[in-house]
Amino acid sequence: MKNKLVLVTGGAGYIGSHTAVELMNEGYDVVIIDNLSNSEKSVLNGIAEITGRNPYFEQFDICDKKKLENFFRVYKKLDAIIHFAAYKAVGESVEKPLKYYQNNLNTLMNLLEGMVKHEVPHFVFSSSATVYGQPDELPVTETAPFKPADSPYGNTKQIAEEMIRDTVNASPGLQAISLRYFNPIGAHPSALIGELPRGVPNNLVPFITQTAIGLREELKVFGDDYNTPDGTAIRDYINVVDLAKAHVVSIKRMIEHKSKDRLEIFNLGTGKGSSVMEIVKAFEKSTGVKINYKIVGRRTGDVESVYADTKYANNELGWKAETGLEETLLSAWNWEKNIRKKA
């Protein structure tokens, strides 16, 4: 029987590349669309080296409707789309909101329109725990209400989920799963693919690995006066390969008609919160490398504490984040060392 064909938008990026690998390992054929606005073409070599085969690759901007229409005509029989392509820098989205609305919403609209027209039945969307803001109750469940978005980036995720809901409601042939990621970290255990932040990293773990390797002088810990056991903010850090696997499970669920609803929403986290200082200590323990750090003031827009209630995803999807924090931090470190060796 012919392999199922999945379009992975943004598949040269951090989470998309790991997902392409997991799909290909499970026997799916993958076509990636990426305009390489936040990634490198060499990522495709990493994917090929790990899986032993090449994904199809099309380089263009999904905001370009004509090119996308042409793509749908060429790749006639897509079984599903996983949509990662978006801008994701929270701080930049505050400075340049229209850049974020333009890219994150137009890519989604064009894809949904194309799916309806070309009868592609299954859609998986990269959403974020940012839709919850600071939840009233922790751990946060999928039924918790949206809080006013902290940033234009966060708002694009809220609007996107609503656009998907409305489109699914109006399109009997379309089914979707929205996955709300908590904090994806780490890299593939082969160290052949991982996160490639441009310039100074905004996120905690790439900043830690770049400090450890000597690219940054010291980590700034943003605030130690939160109402948490050690005063630093708490997040739910999830291994990127575990996260990628949840996408494969989601695709299978829809193809095998196991969904309970035509739009389902799942939290992707570990269920365990870790503070910034716990991450620093776990990194030091697993790698043996000391991190220079300094406590500074809080970062604007940060919430105090957020971690997932994973029961629904664990029971319904039959998926669970399995990799331990120290192993995940070690994978991030191995990746950092590997890219600096190449640079």
- CB closer to ligand UFG out of 174 and 268: 268
Query: Which of residues 173 and 297 has its CB atom nearest to ligand UFG in the complex?
Result: 297
Closest CB to ligand UFG among residues 160, 306: 306
Closest distance to ligand UFG from the beta carbon of 65 (Å): 27
Q: Which is nearer to ligand UFG, 95 or 119 (CB)?
A: 95
22 alpha-carbon distance from chain centroid: 14
153 is catalytic: yes
Strands 263-268 and 175-181: parallel
What does the CA dihedral 332, 334, 338, 340 come to, rounded to 10 degrees?
70
Q: Binding partner of residue 13 among ligand UFG, ligand NAD, none, CB under 5 to 8 Å per kind?
A: ligand NAD
Out of ligand UFG, ligand NAD, none, which partner does residue 276 contact, by CB within 5 to 8 A per kind? ligand UFG
Min. distance of Cβ 67 from ligand UFG in angstroms? 27
38 is a site residue for ligand NAD (CB under 6 A): yes
Catalytic residue (choose from 14, 132, 153, 237): 153
If one asks whether residue 14 binds ligand NAD (CB under 6 A), the answer comes out as: yes
299 contact, one of ligand NAD, ligand UFG, none, CB 5-8 Å limit per kind: ligand UFG
178 binds ligand NAD (CB under 6 A): no
Q: Does 128 bind ligand NAD (CB under 6 A)?
A: yes
Interface with ligand UFG, residue 113, by CB under 6 A: no
Residues forming contacts to ligand NAD in the complex (CB under 6 A) are 10, 12-16, 33-39, 61-63, 84-86, 88, 103, 107, 126, 128, 181, 183-184
Q: Which residues are catalytic?
A: 153
